[in-house]
Amino acid sequence: PRPVRFIGFSTDGLVLEIFCYVNVSDNNEFLRIQQDLMLKILDAAEDLGIFFAIPSQTFLSHEAPPSVA
């Protein structure tokens, strides 16, 4: 398969699929490599002037009125 594919749209943006094969047996080493790859992808995007919008949610809360005694 191609290493990067555009596979669709979501409510949060464009969906890309990135293939990376990591041939290690130690899970901690895998997680370190995975993080390094993701940070390098973010750095490369920033170098190209690409910025990612971070989805957010707003929670509104209203205080109950004080009870009348």
Q: What is the pLDDT of residues 29-43, one digit of tens each?
A: 999 999 999 999 999
Tokens matching residue 54 = 């971070």
Backbone angles phi, psi at 4, to 5 degrees: -135, 130
Q: Residue 7 region, left (φ>0) first, then alpha (ψ -120 to 50), else beta?
A: alpha
Pick out the chain residues at pLDDT < 70: 1, 69
pTM above 0.75, yes or no: no
No. of helices (H) and no. of strands (E), the chain: 1, 2
